[in-house]
Amino acid sequence: MPILPGSAIGVLGSGQLGRMFAIAARRMGYRVHTLSPDEDTPTGQVADVEVNAPYEDLDAVCKFARAVSVVTFEFENVPAETAAAAARCAPVRPAGHVLHTTQHRLREKTFLSNAGLPVTAFRRVASLDELIRAARELGLPAILKTAGFGYDGKGQYRILGEADLPAAWKAVGESEAVLEAFVDFDCEISVVAARSVHGEFVHFGAVENQHRNGILDITIAPARVSNKIGSEAVEIAREVLEKLDVVGVLCVEFFVCKDGRLLINELAPRPHNSGHFTFDANITSQFEQQLRAVCALPFGAVTQLAPAAMANLLGDLWNEHEPDWVAAASVADVKLHLYGKLSARPGRKMGHLTALARDTEQALADVQRARAMLVRNPESKPAL
């Protein structure tokens, strides 16, 4: 049965993804409850109810879930026990098994490999000796990653030669990790897609991603790749969502190898940073599609209204001075999104800009120009 407007939707997590989901949900007449350990959060600022409790407080999680019609996630690092507790009191979408698989790199890569999906060559390592053997099997350079709870480049160490192995092992806490073969790629792309309770599938096409220091910096939509590569990426994403039995939104990140092959890098079982452009550029955003999926409503059209580019705004931009919002707002085809975070720090995602233009090159130029204009001259006076 569809969950209709007027119902309450529960969100585990309270960051910017939950905030944009809450905006989409409230626009369609739903109420939003959020649970996280923090107060005055990006999601809580626009939700109807903000519950402050640790994810490990399963009594609080059950009470939270009993007050809503369905529970969803805004990030995947919610403990599996939390998802299971919520599921005893309300439907959880995507289901806990999706979270369990995708929040742990080793489980995720093992699932992809066993499903016959294209994934970077990898080895499980649980000791320095195993790391040494794995490095010899896969070759160097390679990337060592913590097995669980990593994102935005965290929990990763690039190994250039055998001399780096002891330091790499210490860097990941001398605990279970995944060694991945180094991929010589042309570019990185992703596909954000949604799947309904009835198995219907929609997607936002392949988009191109540029990273800086392991954090997404810019997304260009559509990706500047061939139609063949874009179509293949969408079909692989479809297969991932079907084999995981996802109900909701999931992002598949890919490496595009120099020989044209696609290799899956990571999965994210929720709206994704590379899909933020859809808030402005598409008839139905990734956040509204997440709402429609978890509420068993028909999907909206994914038509993109214009080529777009998105640029993240990290805390580094503040650099002792408030960014020049007036200057950035002077670029008329650029939209500003700020997340309501209480303090800026280097590497923290504080907001993003989205540019719409006649083509992707113009959108990219506009969003980069607008972001550059945010950097205030320290000698200039703040705008009144």
Show the DSSP H helices in the chain as ranges: 16-27, 58-66, 80-87, 96-102, 105-114, 128-138, 165-171, 227-244, 278-281, 286-294, 325-329, 360-373
What's the confidence (pLDDT) of residue 320? 75
* Alpha-carbon gap, residue 378 to 320, rounded angstroms: 9
Q: What is the identity of the amino acid at 148?
A: G
Please check whether residues 48 and 140 belong to one and the same domain.
Answer: no
Please check whether residues 140 and 196 belong to one and the same domain.
Answer: no
pLDDT band per the 50, 70, 90 thresholds, residue 149: low
- Write the CATH number for 157: 3.30.1490.20
Q: What is the identity of the amino acid at 306?
A: A
Please check whether residues 220 and 356 belong to one and the same domain.
Answer: yes
pLDDT digits (tens, 9 = 90+) for 207-223: 999 999 889 999 999 99
Residue 104 falls inside a structural domain:
no
- Tokens describing residue 80: 């599996």
Range scoring the smallest mean pLDDT among 73-82, 267-276, 307-316: 73-82
Please check whether residues 199 and 137 belong to one and the same domain.
Answer: no
Q: Indicate the residue among 92, 107, 132 that finishes a domain.
A: 92
Please check whether residues 296 and 210 belong to one and the same domain.
Answer: yes
Please check whether residues 189 and 173 belong to one and the same domain.
Answer: no
Residue 106 falls inside a structural domain:
no
Residue 79 falls inside a structural domain:
yes
Residue 268 sits at the vertex; the CA angle it makes with 146 and 142, to the nearest 5 degrees, is 35
Count CA within 13 A, CB hemisphere, residue 56: 0
Please check whether residues 270 and 190 belong to one and the same domain.
Answer: yes
In the chain, what percentage of residues exceed pLDDT 90?
91
Question: In Å, what is the CA distance from 384 to each residue of 324, 329, 336, 371, 381?
Answer: 11, 15, 19, 20, 9
The domain containing residue 146 runs over which residues?
Answer: 121-181
Strands 70-73 and 49-52: unpaired
Question: In Å, what is the CA distance from 81 to each residue of 12, 75, 97?
Answer: 13, 15, 11
Please check whether residues 189 and 328 belong to one and the same domain.
Answer: yes
* Alpha-carbon gap, residue 286 to 134, rounded angstroms: 38
What's the confidence (pLDDT) of residue 142? 96
* Alpha-carbon gap, residue 321 to 194, rounded angstroms: 40
Q: Indicate the number of domains in the chain.
A: 3
Residue 12 falls inside a structural domain:
yes
* Alpha-carbon gap, residue 102 to 211, rounded angstroms: 21
What's the confidence (pLDDT) of residue 115? 97
Preceding omega of 222 cis (within 30 degrees of 0): yes
Please check whether residues 198 and 337 belong to one and the same domain.
Answer: yes
* Alpha-carbon gap, residue 72 to 85, rounded angstroms: 13
